[in-house]
Amino acid sequence: MGMLKKKWIRISVKVVATLLIAIIVFTGVNHFTQHVVAHIKKPFTPDYAKVELTEETDLNTIFLQTGIGENTARKMIASGRFDEILEAQELFFINDEIACEPLIKWFTREDRLENELVEFYDLQPGDILVTLSTHTWGWRHGHAAIVIDEFTTVESISMGVNSSKGDIRFWQDYSNFAVLRVKDTTYEQGKQVADFCERSLLDKPYSLLSGFGIHKAPDVTSNNFALHCSYLAWYAWNEFDIDLDSDGGRLVTSYDILHSDKVEIVQLYGMDPREFLQ
């Protein structure tokens, strides 16, 4: 019995030691990916000179200096809101401190500005909000939402949480974001998409496997219908025969929507506008 007891003690010690080593390795790898790998590429702050803007400045320069897209800048100037363009320029050049905050403990974090709230200048129903601030183990998969009105979004936030309405202020301190609008669509078309989201895409379960079934876009009433953030935005516009998935795969990501040739930039922050110049 004594030999058997000693054998079990040795086995128990080995098991405990193995578990401790696994925990230490997991913690170290998690910390490295979340705090080092995920932050190799910093949020964009202009590495070019700030210039004086006037109402006659060309729209590409305004975009480079403010992150405000061509059509939005034109609209703001025409409606006497040039002072807001100058305010946007000031914010665009601020190098704010970034806080990396937990969204899902251990796994997913998101980067937020510590001191600034960035203004939105031209939100319309059906617009798509995209950020690349959200990251899991070093992969910046980002987050996306559909705009309902100037105060409200519909979004699918994380595992275990059903899709819901969100507060637009939640987006104003992300370290980067883009406001996207589907090209050649009207305000009324965007409103139809927003109404569809409110009517059909609220309180749906979260799943990373959305889009991987027999059909990429199953009927919203089908069994096991589920969403994740960028799939929600894609599904909403796909319902109106506009496919915003730029690579056409089953996994719809924030990158796919951000780089779709069917969207235009309304406004961006913390991203390099040179990547989006036509």
Q: What's the pLDDT at 196? A: 98
On whether both 85 and 201 belong to a single domain, the answer is yes
Residue type, 243: D
Q: What's the pLDDT at 141? A: 86
Q: What's the pLDDT at 13? A: 57
Place of tokens 């006497």: 80
Q: What is the DSSP letter of 120?
A: P
Residue type, 11: I
Tell me the two tokens of residue 186: 């009207």
On whether both 212 and 82 belong to a single domain, the answer is yes
Q: State the residue range of the domain holding 13.
A: 1-35
On whether both 109 and 10 belong to a single domain, the answer is no
DSSP helix/strand/coil, 242: coil
Q: What's the pLDDT at 37? A: 56
Q: What's the pLDDT at 82? A: 97
On whether both 19 and 143 belong to a single domain, the answer is no
On whether both 268 and 131 belong to a single domain, the answer is yes
Q: How many domains does the chain have?
A: 2
C-alpha distance from residue 32 to each of 37, 39, 192 (Å): 6, 10, 44
How does residue 16 score in pLDDT terms, banded at 50, 70 and 90? low
On whether both 108 and 124 belong to a single domain, the answer is yes
* Strands of the chain, DSSP E: 98-104, 108-113, 128-131, 134-136, 143-149, 152-155, 164-167, 177-182, 263-269
On whether both 6 and 60 belong to a single domain, the answer is no
On whether both 14 and 99 belong to a single domain, the answer is no
On whether both 68 and 175 belong to a single domain, the answer is yes
CB 134 within 8 A of CB 173: no
Q: What's the pLDDT at 30? A: 53
On whether both 183 and 257 belong to a single domain, the answer is yes
Task: Give per-residue pLDDT as tens, 136-159.
Answer: 877 788 999 999 999 999 999 988
